[in-house]
A and B are shown apart, each in its own frame.
Chain A
Amino acid sequence: MKEKYLINARIIDPNNQMDEIGGLIIDVNGKIQAVGKNVSNGNLPTEAEKIDLEKQVLIPGVVDMRVFVGEPGYEYKENFRTLSNAALSGGVTSVVSMPNTSPVIDNVSMVDFLKRRGRDKSKINIFPAASLTRNTEGTQMTEFGLLRRKGIIAFTDGLKTVQDPQVMTRIMNYAGESDALIMQHAEDNILSAGGLINEGEISTRLGLKGIPFLAEKIIVERDLSILEEYQCKYHISQISSEKTISVIKRAKEEGKVFSTGVSINNLSLNENDIGDFKTFLKLSPPLRTEEDRLSLINAISEGLIEVIVSDHKPEDEESKRLTFAKAATGATGIETLLPLALELFHNDSLKLNTIIASITSNPAKILGIDKGSLQIGADADLCVVDINKPWVVNKDNLLSKSKNTPIEDRKLQGQIIKTFIKGEIAFARA
């Protein structure tokens, strides 16, 4: 490939504290050769391929730490090709895929299959997570060592939580040796049994069984207690309640080292949005109160939550056209992660730099991958975004195979213009 010169962009790279007008040079191998204000039209060879970004914002490609793909087993909900297209239109260039497929990603032969499919069918970088326990049953830990050797960088039971404290203790003890990243979806199964939405006035009015905040808090408290005895790389996939934040705050003050994520849904919606039993807003963790939403945003500002994820969970229409109790849980979101996150900038909830860090450099650092930054020598995985462009979400225009967006008809500000993978334009908005 030829060298490319991206010029006249507002470059924001939180990892290098960069926010300046300048350019970026992509070398013949698709790597970043130079970046910053020194790269401008004036000092470039005249015959080079130049792309004038017209002062649009250039950021590292988005790293989404929590994404569900339907392969294998649920290809009718999402396959690697549709996921890749959806991701690219949202500026996402790297994803961690959850192991809750059929069969579950819990052994090395499944990893080979996934890597092959991911490479053949998608343009984005797919980092498959393997399950923490066999078949996500929460009883027998998977082969962390062998799976690590196959390139697995993170372990999680995804939709499920390891309930048995002894199993969790042994996992964290064993994982401490192998440097494996342990990601927990924090929910106590007994406290949340039969629960459908946040426990509160809305659940009382809708007559739906509630999920108490305690179901989340109790698992976070348990795991952080275990962490005190058995240090390992531990990440809480996503939290939803103010009460959990205070647990995290205390643990950080005590010097414990771990990281925490939050779904963009919990930052942008609350339980009132469920309205008249909208099943697209049946989520796990559930949408909680407005107070919870505001405190989650505040926790990002304070650095208590490092990562924002899309929690992209495609569900076909038949799984959602049911009563609230019977409908599937989850919503798509990979395409709208960045634009919806930008809403938090436009309404003065968060700084632009903080938002971008939480979807690029922070997840990359936690995962230990060479992504999410405009480091010289790194792959040129980039996203160009017009942060002011207004548009309206319409499910028919989304590229994901499933249409269960929780923000249909929402007016957003900020749209992805171009996405680069390894220096090539993988998506360009018409």
Chain B
Amino acid sequence: MAVIKKFEAVKISQSHLLGIQDISVSEVFCILNEAKAFIKLNKSTSKKTDILRGKTQINLFFEPSTRTQSSFELAGKRLGADVMSMNIVNSAIKKGETLIDTAMTLNAMHPDVIVVRHQDSGAPNLLSQKVNCSVINAGDGRREHPTQALLDALTIINRKGKIEGLKIAICGDILHSRVARSNIYLMNMLGAEINVVAPKTLLPHSVERLGVNVFAEMKKGLDNCDIVMMLRLQNERMQGSFLPSAREYYEYFGLTPDKMILAKKDALIMHPGPMNRGVEIDTNLADDINKSVIREQVELGVAVRMACLKIYCKKT
């Protein structure tokens, strides 16, 4: 990971992590470099540090989440912070409280960092304007999921040693995906070539303006790729007539061995989870230890979130 070293001295200028669109290449490497150090710690027998001792982290999840929420929770705890997780899905917000009121209430408890997930795009931005602490975006609407993209980048660097010059295919429901958007911004920033592969109904308007090659045929899109990122296809997409059926989707856009063979021999398979086996990905491919790095993504996710918490928590 020599590439990262030279950016070690860079300072992060912002106090919030709202999206990849707002940060610079040097800031990205600063985060990844921090994260790299935590990978070893997370594998050791004594995982706890006191970097954030005395700091309070509030996880504010307006949308149900298992892996992101537990990943942030674990990350905070390993850094020694006091972590409080709030599931708003069935609490005050249902009684009519607005996001700003919730923010003001939490702000009165003097947290040092708020990790927020919200179904509305831009909600973390609004929150960040109203609280005195740092805000880390854990996914907002269809807009961004910056820590997911950062952990994907770390996973790729861990395996391939670099991102620059790699060819990355992002496949599936790009339209509704914040993971896809954050990854497009980040991988572009780091010098990768990006193919997006999706049926036209699941592509956002003007997606080519984000700097990607667009493919409606998966075999062409995967041709000679180093990385194949699959996205989750939500079942309700069938109802909106985005697609004719799950079986047709699997036939044309599911990751199967006959399509995977077109990617490079040493190509890696990634997925942000949770997976729909047999809908977007062949079950054997998902478990193929030579190709699939899906579990490694989860593992490095904790390290990346520790890095983000450490860096942004100190900014206020």
Interface residues of chain A, those whose CB is within 8 Å of chain B, are 199-201, 203-210, 276-277, 318, 321-326
Residues of A within 8 A of B205 (CB): 199-201, 203-204, 210
A27 CA to B210 CA, complexed, in Å:
65
B305 within 8 A of A: no
Known: A207-B141, A321-B100. A201 touches B120 (CB 8 A): no
Known: A207-B181, A277-B125. A322 touches B98 (CB 8 A): yes
**Contacting residues, chain A, for B143 (C-beta < 8 A):** 205-208
Among B120-139, those with CB < 8 Å from A are 120-123, 125-126
* Cβ-neighbour of B141 out of A200, A210, A325 (below 8 A): A325
Question: Cα distance A205–B142 when bound, in Å?
Answer: 9
Whether A207 contacts B121 in the complex (CB less than 8 A), given A201-B205, A322-B98, comes out as yes
Residues of B within 8 A of A276 (CB): 122, 125
Smallest CB–CB gap between A72 and chain B, Å? 24
Residues of B within 8 A of A210 (CB): 205
Contacts of B39-64 to chain A: CB distance below 8 A = none
Q: Mind listing 5 A-B residue pairs with CB under 8 Å?
A: A208-B142, A210-B205, A323-B120, A323-B121, A324-B122
* B interface bracket (residues with beta carbon within 8 Å of A): 20 to 34
Q: Is B98 within 8 A of A321, CB to CB?
A: yes
**Chain B, residue nearest A209 (CB):** B142
A326 to B101, CA, bound (A): 14
Tell me, in angstroms, the Cα distance from A199 to B205 when the chains sit together: 7
Q: Is the CB of B123 within 8 A of A323?
A: yes
Q: Which residues of A contact B99 (CB under 8 A)?
A: 322-323
A207 to B181, CA, bound (A): 9
Known A208-B121, A276-B122, A321-B100; 19 more pairs at CB < 8 Å: A201-B206, A203-B204, A203-B205, A204-B181, A205-B21, A205-B143, A207-B121, A207-B140, A207-B142, A207-B144, A210-B205, A277-B125, A322-B98, A322-B99, A322-B126, A323-B99, A323-B126, A324-B120, A325-B141
The listed residue (A199, A201, A207, A277) touching B178 by CB distance below 8 A is A207
Contacts A200-B205, A206-B143; is A277 near B21 (CB within 8 Å)? no
Please measure, in the bound complex, the distance between the C-alpha atom of A324 and the C-alpha atom of B122, giving whole angstroms. Answer: 7
User: For residue B144, which residues in chain A have a CB less than 8 angstroms away from its CB?
Assistant: 207
Please tell me if the beta carbons of B121 and A325 are within 8 angstroms of each other in the complex: yes
Q: Is the CB of A204 within 8 A of B140?
A: no
Q: How far, in angstroms, from A187 to B119 measured CA to CA in the complex?
A: 25
Tell me if B310 is interfacial: C-beta within 8 Å of chain A: no
Q: Is B209 an interface residue (CB 8 A)?
A: yes
CA–CA, A208 and B176, complex, Å: 10
Interface check B207, CB cutoff 8 A: yes
A206 touches which one: B118, B122, B126, B206 (CB < 8 A)?
A: B122
Grouping DSSP codes into helix (H, G, I), strand (E, B) and loop, the A interface class, with mixed when no group exceeds half, is: loop
Instruction: State in angstroms the CA–CA spacing of A318 and B98 once bound together.
Output: 9
Measured CA separation A204–B122 after assembly (Å) = 13
| Contacts A201-B206, A207-B181; A325 near B120 (Cβ below 8 A) | yes
Instruction: Report the nearest A residue to B209, measured CB to CB.
Output: A201
Q: State in angstroms the CA–CA spacing of A206 and B125 once bound together.
A: 11
Chain B 265-290, CB within 8 Å of chain A: the 1/0 string? 00000000000000000000000000
**Distance, CA A325 to CA B120, complexed state (A):** 6
Q: Inside 8 A of A209's CB, which chain B residues have their CB?
A: 142
Residue of A nearest to B62 (CB): A323
A277/B126 in contact, CB under 8 A: yes
Q: How far is the CA of A325 from the CA of B126 in the complex (A)?
A: 12
- Distance, CA A325 to CA B21, complexed state (A): 20
Q: Is B122 touching A323 in the complex (CB atoms < 8 A)? A: yes
Q: How far is the CB of A194 from chain B (nearest CB, A)?
A: 10
CA distance A276 to B16 in the complex (A): 14
* Distance (whole angstroms) from the CB of A328 to the closest CB of chain B: 12
Point out the residues of chain A lying under 8 angstroms from B122, CB to CB: 206-208, 276-277, 323-324
| Bound form: Cα–Cα A321–B98 in Å | 9
Residue in A closest to B207 when the chains form the complex, CB atoms: A204
- The CA of A208 and the CA of B144, in the complex, are separated in Å by 11
Q: Which residues of A contact B98 (CB under 8 A)?
A: 318, 321-322
A323 to B142, CA, bound (A): 14
A200 touches B206 (CB 8 A): yes
Within 8 A of A (CB), among B160-197: 178, 181
Query: Min CB distance, A271 to chain B, in Å?
Result: 11
Alpha-carbon distance between A203 and B143 when the two chains are bound, in angstroms? 9
Taken together as a complex, chains A and B put the C-alpha atoms of A326 and B62 apart, in Å, by 14
Q: Which residue of B lies closest to A196 (CB)?
A: B121
Collect the chain A residues with CB atoms within 8 Å of residue B140's CB: 207
Please, which residues of chain A bring their CB within 8 A of the CB of B100?
Answer: 321-322
User: What is the minimal beta-carbon distance from A199 to any residue of chain B, in angstroms?
Assistant: 5
The 9 closest A-B pairs by CB, nearest first: A207-B143, A207-B121, A323-B120, A277-B122, A207-B142, A201-B206, A204-B204, A325-B120, A201-B209
- Bound complex: CA A277 to CA B210 (Å): 19
Q: Cα distance A200–B203 when bound, in Å?
A: 11
Q: B120 contacts which chain A residues (CB < 8 A)?
A: 323-326
Q: Give A206 to B181 CA distance when docked, in angstroms.
A: 10
A199 to B203, CA, bound (A): 12
- Chain B, Cβ-Cβ closest to A210: B205
Min CB distance A212 to B, Å, is: 8
Complex: A321 Cα to B122 Cα, angstroms: 12
Q: Which residue of A lies closest to B123 (CB)?
A: A323
Query: Contact mask B212-240 → A, CB, 8 Å, 1/0?
Result: 00000000000000000000000000000
Chain A residue with minimal CB distance to B181?
A207
Residues of B within 8 A of A206 (CB): 121-122, 143
- The answer to whether B121 touches A324 (Cβ under 8 A) is yes
Cα–Cα distance between A207 and B124 once the two chains are bound (Å): 13
- Inside 8 A of B125's CB, which chain A residues have their CB? 276-277
Rounded to whole Å, the gap between the CB of B113 and the closest CB of chain A is 20
When C-beta atoms are compared, the residue in chain A nearest to B129 turns out to be A276
